[in-house]
Amino acid sequence: MTKPNLLSGMQPSASSLHLGNYLGALRQWVAMQQTHSAHYVIVDLHAITVAQDPKMLAENIRKTAAQYIAAGLDVDSSTLFIQSHVPAHSELAWILNCIASFGETSRMTQFKDKSQKGGSDNASVGLFTYPILQAADILLYQPKAVPVGEDQRQHLELTRNLAERFNNRYGKVFEMPEAVILKETAKIYDLQNPTAKMSKSAGEPKGIVNLLDEDSVISKKIKSAVTDTDGEIKFEPESKPGVSNLLGIYSAVSDKPISVLVESYQGVGYGQLKQDVADAVIATVSPIREKTNELMNDTSHLDSILEKGAAKARETADKTLRDVQNALGLIPNRNN
């Protein structure tokens, strides 16, 4: 029986992935690779929608790939590749740019949030059309499942709308992808500002647990997490966002239900809770850091994994692109 396709990706826009990326997405990727024909992409072209230091970018692309593998992606059964190694992504993005309306693209909240910082006049056009490139990433691989965190829901909706519009106008080419968003870990919050999501582009470093942080740094960040003054350990995200975020993280890394944790922490102080959360997070994260460092010691091995992945990805992506070109009335180049 053939397995259903799956695609997901992350931006290589920081020197480490964080706990939100891991619990919101990467952990699902590892679990789902058994049951799906999975494609995992490092979206370097998305990262350059804001200015990047070239040396850092190259390093971060490899480090992102290394973290995927260190977290448990199997490079033999899954296809792991760099977006810019598969030119069909850019080509389909242009075509979808011509299908997407200015109005629907303007409604994307990520653009509104990100462009607010420097003023939307200064934001790149790439940042504006970012979700359309994301739609191309997805639709090229005809995936049934796209495992992501909550913040990607709107981009998945746009992707589905573009696929449906294309299919209605030109005949069915695209499968309808479904977002796979796990409720419990859909949104991990910043430790210092627990009503905002943990994010590599926002927030101060103290609020973000990086997968590549040293154990002592993780411990310090978790111990200085913002909580509240009533001293009771309860899961109430509205009134107790800090404590609830810690419980959510603890539950995710220990696989114990939140209700069981709350029960066992009756009469116990925040200090003990934080210590236990820190220990549990470190137990999950430090093997990933160590394996990542090992992989980064042999970048030519890493590059060869990524080149093999790109060759496999190109086969699938080029076929979809040819179907799209045919449907549109473009004449496919037989030399490709």
Asked if residue 25 lies in contact with residue 33, where contact means CB atoms within 8 angstroms, the answer is: no
Q: Which stretch, 121-129, 192-200, 211-219, 250-258, contacts ligand TYM (CB under 6 A)?
A: 192-200
Q: Which stretch, 120-128, 195-203, 207-215, 263-271, contacts ligand TYM (CB under 6 A)?
A: 195-203
- Cβ closest to ligand TYM, residue 63 vs residue 197: 197
Shortest distance, CB of residue 263 to ligand TYM, whole angstroms?
25
Shortest distance, CB of residue 185 to ligand TYM, whole angstroms?
6
Q: How many CA atoms lie within 13 A of 185 on its CB side?
A: 22
Q: What's the rounded Cα separation, in Å, for the pair 138 and 8? A: 7
Estimate to the nearest angstrom the gap between the alpha carbon of 72 and the chain centroid.
Answer: 15
Q: Pick the closest to residue 223 from 207, 237, 203, 201 (CA basis).
A: 207
Indicate whether 62 belongs to the interface with ligand TYM (CB under 6 A).
no
Inter-CA distances, 326 with 120, 162, 330, Å: 37, 17, 6
Active site residues: 114, 197, 200
Indicate whether 46 belongs to the interface with ligand TYM (CB under 6 A).
yes
Estimate to the nearest angstrom the gap between the alpha carbon of 74 and the chain centroid.
Answer: 17
Indicate whether 134 belongs to the interface with ligand TYM (CB under 6 A).
yes
**What is the C-alpha end-to-end distance of the chain, expressed in Å?**
30
Asked if residue 305 lies in contact with residue 68, where contact means CB atoms within 8 angstroms, the answer is: no
Which tokens belong to 316? 């699938």
- Cβ closest to ligand TYM, residue 149 vs residue 241: 149
Of the candidate residues 95, 123, 137, 194, the single one contacting ligand TYM (CB under 6 A)? 137
Phi/psi for 39 (5° steps) reads: -120, 125
Of the candidate residues 20, 207, 248, 309, the single one contacting ligand TYM (CB under 6 A)? 20
Of the candidate residues 138, 162, 173, 273, the single one contacting ligand TYM (CB under 6 A)? 138
One-character DSSP codes across 135-192: HHHHHTT--SEEE--GGGHHHHHHHHHHHHHHHHHH-------EEE--GGGS-PBPSS
Indicate whether 218 belongs to the interface with ligand TYM (CB under 6 A).
no
Indicate whether 123 belongs to the interface with ligand TYM (CB under 6 A).
no
- Spell out, one character per residue from 287 to 316, where the chain touches ligand TYM: x when CB under 6 A holds, - when not: ------------------------------
Indicate whether 203 belongs to the interface with ligand TYM (CB under 6 A).
no
Indicate whether 43 belongs to the interface with ligand TYM (CB under 6 A).
yes
The residues of the shown chain that bind ligand TYM, judged by CB under 6 A, are 7-11, 20-21, 24-25, 43, 46, 134, 137-138, 146, 148-149, 151-152, 155, 186-188, 197-199
